[in-house]
């Protein structure tokens, strides 16, 4: 093995160890009580009592929090993908026949990335108050997906349009000559070709909605309606001064996300590479 490759592997191992250390240390601390955390923070716990995790799981109502976050994330992901898929197809193909119009809508959507979320908090809150009689207002988990979907459009447009433009126009023209309609072209030709991009946006939209905190903290007030990130901020208050319980709750929240990233990491890299090169 070449020396440069050995150095590279050692560097990767070192960086991975540095990034993993806080998580592993948190796991160790989660099995301790307050006295053990403050007096012997670097030692292993005298007993690995997993019943502490069961107790924290019951008291923190994590299943309800996961359900709320899952509902919001699924609705957001589906809505964002549907809107971005169709709008990006229109923008990509308008570019060929009406370049000025296609470019206008493309850059119009992208300008939304320059608008900070804090500027939008007041109008979003006002709209949520107006929608409260419909069950989609303040203090309802159904109020979160709609601003999340709107916020995902700029990035989704950037990635989807790049993937759409990489599809040879001749393939769609050949399908039209064979009698295929617009929907058949979209779902039988375009979608399979940009599936890596589609999968990547699915993952990013899902995790973005799952981890969002700012809007959730403004629009949700009741504990039973909290999403995972919002509830995490209140764990210290809920468990008073039990820092071990706080750490256990955080670990239980992080583990599903780590598993999710581990399963789909290849898809994320593949999709972003495809969009970046071909776009």
Query: What is the reported pLDDT for 239?
Result: 63
64-73, 86-95, 192-201, 220-229, range with greatest mean pLDDT: 64-73
Measured CA to CA, the distance from residue 156 to residue 158 in angstroms comes to 5
Please work out, in degrees rounded to the nearest 5, the angle formed at the alpha carbon of residue 276 by the alpha carbons of 275 and 279.
65
Query: What is the reported pLDDT for 268?
Result: 66
Q: Is the per-residue pLDDT at 165 higher than 60?
A: yes
| Domain limits, the chain | 3-49, 54-278
Query: What is the reported pLDDT for 236?
Result: 63
Q: How confident is the model at residue 274 (pLDDT cuts 50, 70, 90)?
A: low
Using N-to-C axis directions, what is the helix angle for 62-97 and 145-165, rounded to 10°?
40
Q: How confident is the model at residue 69 (pLDDT cuts 50, 70, 90)?
A: very high
> Any idea which of 1-10, 69-78, 106-115, 263-272 has the lowest mean pLDDT?
263-272
Q: Is 35 helix (H, G, I), strand (E, B) or coil?
A: helix
Query: Is 54-278 in CATH node 3.40.225.10?
Result: no
DSSP annotation string for the chain: --HHHHHHHHHHHHHHHHHHHHHHHHHHHTTS-HHHHHH-TTSPPS---THHHHHHHHHTTHHHHHHHHHHHHHHHHHHHHHHHHHHHHHHHHHHHH-HHHHHHHHHHHHGGGGS-HHHHHHHHHHHHHHTGGGT-STT-GGGSHHHHHHHHHHHHHHHHHHHHHTS-HHHHHHHHHTT--HHHHIIIIIHHHTHHHHHHHHHHHHHHHHH--HHHHHH--SGGG--HHHHHHHHHHHTTT-HHHHHHHHHHHHHHHHHHHHHHHHHHHHHHHHHHHH-
Query: What is the reported pLDDT for 40?
Result: 83
Q: Give me the mean pLDDT over the 194-214 stretch.
A: 87
Q: Is the per-residue pLDDT at 273 higher than 80?
A: no
Q: How confident is the model at residue 34 (pLDDT cuts 50, 70, 90)?
A: confident
Listed in sequence order, the residues at least 6 apart from 36 whose beta carbon sits closer than 8 Å to its beta carbon are 43, 45, 46, 244
168-172, 242-246, 258-262, range with greatest mean pLDDT: 168-172
């Amino acid at each position: 093995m070449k020396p440069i490759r050995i150095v590279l592997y050692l560097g990767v191992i070192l960086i991975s160890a540095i990034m993993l250390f806080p998580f592993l240390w948190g796991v160790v601390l989660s099995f301790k009580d307050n006295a053990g955390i403050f007096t012997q923070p670097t030692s292993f716990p005298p007993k690995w009592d997993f019943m502490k995790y069961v107790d924290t799981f019951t008291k923190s109502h994590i299943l309800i929090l996961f359900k709320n976050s899952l509902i919001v994330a699924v609705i957001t992901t589906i809505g964002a993908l549907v809107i971005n898929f169709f709008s990006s197809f229109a923008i990509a193909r308008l570019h060929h026949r009406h370049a000025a119009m296609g470019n206008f809508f493309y850059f119009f959507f992208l300008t939304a990335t320059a608008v900070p979320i804090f500027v939008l908090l007041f109008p979003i809150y006002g709209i949520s108050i107006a929608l409260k009689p419909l069950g989609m207002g303040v203090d309802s988990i159904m109020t979160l997906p709609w601003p999340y979907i709107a916020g995902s459009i700029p990035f989704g447009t950037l990635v989807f349009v790049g993937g759409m433009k990489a599809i040879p126009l001749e393939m769609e023209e050949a399908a039209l000559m064979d009698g295929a309609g617009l929907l058949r072209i979209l779902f039988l030709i375009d979608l399979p070709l940009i599936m890596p991009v589609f999968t990547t946006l699915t993952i990013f939209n899902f995790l973005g909605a799952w981890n969002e905190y700012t809007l959730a903290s403004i629009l949700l007030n009741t504990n039973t309606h909290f999403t995972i990130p919002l509830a995490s901020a209140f764990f210290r208050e809920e468990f008073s001064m039990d820092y071990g319980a706080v750490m256990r709750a955080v670990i239980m929240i992080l583990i599903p996300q780590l598993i999710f990233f581990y399963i789909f990491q290849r898809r994320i890299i593949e999709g972003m590479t495809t969009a970046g090169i071909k776009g």
